[in-house]
Structure 1
Amino acid sequence: MFRHRWATVGACIVTALVGGGGCRQKAEPPRVIPLEGRTVDVDPRRGKITVSYYSEKHDKEITATGLVTDETEIRINGVIATLADVAVGEFVKGEVRVEASGDKKRMVALSIIIDRPEPKPTPPP
């Protein structure tokens, strides 16, 4: 019995070392990255925002969609706002948490900051 237990343990160790033991691929720890770009699509109903931005890593313009949650901080001119207040074509800054597992990536917006130009006052008649 004792010899059988060691044989089983040894077989498990060899399997784990040689073939990976059939373990699933581990998810990478999430990382937070800054992001600046222009909104291409805003979908408050589904809680998603699509932004076009320049990627230095890829040396080209990239379009990516991120999830907007209840924890996402949205500010327009310093005032708390909602995703419904964000318009297509606006320049946004913020932070995104990138969660990767194997080939799949999920982007979650942590903050969305918009500085809109103040409207010019109309001159008196």
Structure 2
Amino acid sequence: MAFVLSLADWLYQLIDPFLLYPFTIALWLVQVWNQAPFSWLRFFLFLGLYLYGERYWHFIGNGDLILFFLWFPWLNWQQIHLLLFIASGVGIGYYCFLRYIKKRPSDRLPFVPFLSIGLTACLLL
């Protein structure tokens, strides 16, 4: 799921709902089948964050907010912090590479690939 959505965000800077929702249903079914811990608190917290962010935040894409809402209830707080720390760090590194090495600043970065790197790292650690 993360790889395909990252590729779509990298190439087109959008999250295709025809990819996102079937992958999400499959992910949630596998998580329920494996009896993974689910946090209703994080679910409603990130639902509120998504609804607020969709309306008032224009510096982050709606696809990123949707992934926060869909992934984070299955992660604990330590994993969420690690994911965001790694994703932000890799994103900043990539931006600096574009800005100072390639001399081609970008006003928009695809953040889903960085979220996917962070998710992979936090699930493997």
Give the TM-score taking structure 1 as reference length: 0.22
* Higher strand fraction (1 or 2): 1
* Higher helix fraction (1 or 2): 2
Compare relative contact order (CA 8 Å, sep 6+) and give the higher one, 1 or 2: 2
Give the TM-score taking structure 2 as reference length: 0.22
Q: Whose Rg is larger?
A: 1
